[in-house]
Amino acid sequence: MLAACLAPRPFPPPLLAQYIQAALGNADLARPGYVASIVASRVPALALPAAEVAFSAINQTLASAPSQPSYASDTPAETAQAVELALNSLLPLILSSPTSALETIRYLSYFLSHLPHRLTKEKVDAAQIESCAKRVGIAIEAVANVGSKDAPVLAKLRQDLEALRRKLTPRGRRRVPSSVDLDEFDEIEGLRIPYGDVALLVSRMLSNPFLPTQQLQSSLLALIRYRTAQSTFRKSTPQKALVLLLVEVLGGLIQTLQDAKRADVVLESLLFGKVPHVLKSLTTANGLDKLPEALAAALRLMQGRLAKATSDGRKDMDSSVPSVFSQFVAACCQSDLLLPDIGASLARDVDVSELQPVMIEDYQHRLAAGSIDDLKQVLDEAVHSYAPQQTIASAVASLFAAKAQSADLAGLADLCDALAESKDAMSVIFLHVEPRELLRPVRQVLDSFDTTQENSDDVNPIERYGSLVLFVQLVVSRFKLLDNLAYHLDSSSSFVATWLPSASAVYAVSTMTDDERNAVSGWIGALFGEGISDDLMHATNPRTLLRVAPTILKQSLKARQAGIVDMDSLRDALSYFLQELLRFTLPGVLKWLIAEIEQTPPSSQQNSMLDLLQVLVFSDALPPAVLELVALDLARLLLSPAFASNVPSSVDIARLRKTIAPYRPLPPAIQATVVDEHAAFGATSKPILSGAPSTEGEEVVATAIPPLYDSLRLSLRASKTPVSFFSCTFLPPIFALLANTPTIATAAYSRLERYAAAVLAAPDSNGRPLIVALIWHLTPEELAEWDLRMLPAGTADGLVAGETERMQVNLLGDAIAGAFVLVTGEGEADSSSSSTQTTSAAPDEL
């Protein structure tokens, strides 16, 4: 009715205009979208001044009630019709006098940017969307042709029309294939060092050789999917792409071992044992049945390059390279990845007998039926024979699980002792199975331990319990598992999971439970009295003893300081901790004692503690495992300037150093860089991005590969959000290369693209791919900023793209698409392993 009143009045009387604004400005009286549809339908009968009055009221309502629909339409199809109707009716009215149509312009802009329904091909007929898009295009041309006086008034409307056209006509950039075969170009270039995506994978493998086999297999499979998918755009073939990918991955690993400063059983087992096993597993993946042929072709290509490098006398080559290469060829033959005759043609310096497939025996049956000596022999085989490593590791894990299931405390303790004695064997086992596969059954037995068990084989069950505790501590310490202890123990609430992070803690008596107070008083009384009786051992829960052992030492020291006991009595009492029944408590006791010595100034009190420390550490009864667990603490004490400048004459510094020397960490076998600056990732990645073909460039790249993944991880951790890392640390050097090289070669662009895609697909500190974390953390404000800063821009009106900016957009789009392929490729692999749950869930999040 109100619209009807307006129609015959070009200039409504003021009183009627006020009434209309009051009526239409109240959403409870009239829905603005419905009124807008009525007003639009009355044009051209409705004059511009009357329309301005109506749209002023409608705009006021929409501003105060943004949840109200901008137009009356019940379906996406009706919304598409509404767009055409609104443009057909309102745009001519606006163009008749733009400066007099500000409220009408404001409404039309709002409507076009706040459509009641999304217009997609899934919801609206394609012909209708095409018709709507065509009408929007006509409107854009009409708005673009106005005079310079009216252009500023229509600028916002023009932007909204452009945005709507982009939504209606999504134009995915059709990627133009390369005019030359880029894989052939790379082959001719002879790039022996991995770049971009492969550099990141190789660096990840070298920085963490204990990466779970399933994760390594998933990452390599994803990379294969990505590279073979790219082959179309590189004017190549999937098989050729696979061959060159294997050349890069294997070449990077072989180059690293060739440059190793010393022999390293872990790195050698990674290359000669784990990698062939992963490649063998990938032959069962869809479309990879020809992988052995690709591997043979890759090794032939590598052989030719190695021969040329040797004949050219390159300074970065030495006589050990063919040996490393030949060992890998032999490992592939023994894993039945290569035929013996192919292996013989590739590794002429290897005896033919070493190129035959290895028959893997049934280690699970052998271990289950054998003695502890048989286990030690099998562990020795794992260290010196690469082909059976994975089978042996699986058999050991099964044996641990079987012993736990049958509650065989003695048998499980023997397994733990044997494995703890061989550091190399333990490393090889955990190279192929996750530590949790052994720690979980041990933790289950510790949780269910019954202190009332009778002695077996003249061994107190608590001794067996202690062996398990020391084994857990040793594994956690050697492989740095404390930060994710709940995962590795498969429990966050078990005693071990809650006690181990604070094993050296002491507690005030007032905060203890009754059992803990009774244990402290009972044990102190026994230590300084008649000794530890069997009744006391049976009466004390070993879990309680582990918690209060450092407190027992602290209370004993207080008794010495108070003059209740003398030093000789204190030494005699604490020597009980060196007995087999109590040795498992010593790591926590010694760690507390060393920390207390550090914090105590030179005094008779510190001298007493140093005396006790030497009694315990110098004793032949101290297990090597305990000494290994506290060696780092002792080294920290000896290196402390405050302690070193005031060492009492009673302390045998030379003997302490000699005692912990066997546990000093070996220098890294490969080049490693400590990264502690936020900008280090950019510096580390420069040679990876440059793709320098010179010998000097290859040496720089080889040096940069090992720390690359760690520097990425640390740089991510240093950034406040993934967004800040991506926009401030990662993109600038890549975009700088594009900006400084307007005619960047296709091959160089491809390296940048691969590198960017790999970084986007790399996991953050939570195991979530960076691209997923990036999307989760992006805000509309940041997206708007990116739109202004990174999307094409050139002229003052922002409609003409600059070539550099367009290339940035292309690169970013290609990298995001590549990251999606990498993330979904990882999800293709078997995700049953709990260690890959985060990765396998990423495609759905993405």
pLDDT value, residue 743: 57
- Residue-wise pLDDT for 350-394, tens only, equals 899 999 999 888 999 999 988 999 999 999 999 999 999 999 999
Q: Is the pLDDT of residue 792 over 60?
A: no
Identify which has the larger pLDDT, 459 or 407.
407
State how far the Cα of 644 lies from the Cα of 641, in Å rounded to an integer.
5
pLDDT score recorded for residue 684: 46
Q: Is the pLDDT of residue 534 over 80?
A: no
Q: Is residue 10 scored above 70 in pLDDT?
A: no
- Predicted pLDDT of residue 376: 95
pLDDT value for 679 = 37
Residue bearing the bigger pLDDT, 632 or 452: 632
* Reported pTM: 0.74
The pLDDT of residue 102: 92
Q: How confident is the model at residue 754 (pLDDT cuts 50, 70, 90)?
A: confident
pLDDT at residue 388, as a whole number: 95
- The per-residue pLDDT for range 628-648, each reduced to its tens digit, is 999 999 999 999 988 888 888
Query: Hey, which of 580-589, 675-684, 762-771 has the most confident mean pLDDT?
Result: 580-589
- For residues 785-789, give the mean pLDDT: 55
Question: How many other C-beta atoms are found inside a 10 Å radius of the C-beta of residue 726?
Answer: 21
Least confident of 299-303, 410-414, 594-598: 299-303
User: With contact defined as beta carbons under 8 Å apart, do 250 and 243 qualify?
Assistant: no
> Could you tell me which residue, 357 or 738, shows the higher pLDDT?
357
pLDDT at 804: 64
Q: What percent of the chain has pLDDT over 70?
A: 80
For residues 402 and 441, give the distance between their C-alpha atoms in angstroms, rounded to a whole number.
Answer: 9
SS3 276: helix
Whether the pLDDT of residue 594 is over 90: the answer is yes
Look at residues 814, 724, 842, 707 and name the one whose alpha carbon lies nearest to residue 203: 707
Q: How confident is the model at residue 243 (pLDDT cuts 50, 70, 90)?
A: very high
Q: Which residue has the higher pLDDT, 601 or 199?
A: 601
**Residues 682-716 pLDDT 10s:** 544 454 444 444 333 344 334 445 566 776 777 77
Measured CA distances, 720 to 240, 681, 786 (Å): 41, 15, 18
Handedness of CA 375, 378, 382, 387 (dihedral sign): negative
What is the model's pLDDT at position 803? Answer: 60
Average pLDDT of the chain is 82
pLDDT tens, position by position, 213-226: 998 999 999 999 99
Closest CA to 476 of 464, 487, 485: 485
Q: For the chain, which residues make up each domain, given as ranges? A: 2-168, 182-355, 363-463, 503-663, 680-845
Instruction: Choose between 819 and 684: higher pLDDT.
Output: 819
Query: What is the structure's pLDDT at 673?
Result: 37
Question: pLDDT grade, residue 8 (50/70/90)?
Answer: low
Residue 784 pLDDT greater than 70, yes or no: no
| Alpha helix stretches (DSSP H) within 1-125 | 2-6, 14-24, 32-42, 48-64, 76-96, 102-113
- Determine contact, residues 811/749, Cβ cutoff 8 Å: yes
Q: 763: which strand partners?
A: 769
pLDDT at 9: 55
Burial category of 305 from C-beta neighbours within 10 Å (exposed 0-12, middle 13-18, buried 19 and up) = middle
Q: Is the pLDDT of residue 474 over 70?
A: yes
Radius of gyration of the chain (CA): 36
Q: How far apart are CA 209 and CA 134, in angstroms?
A: 58
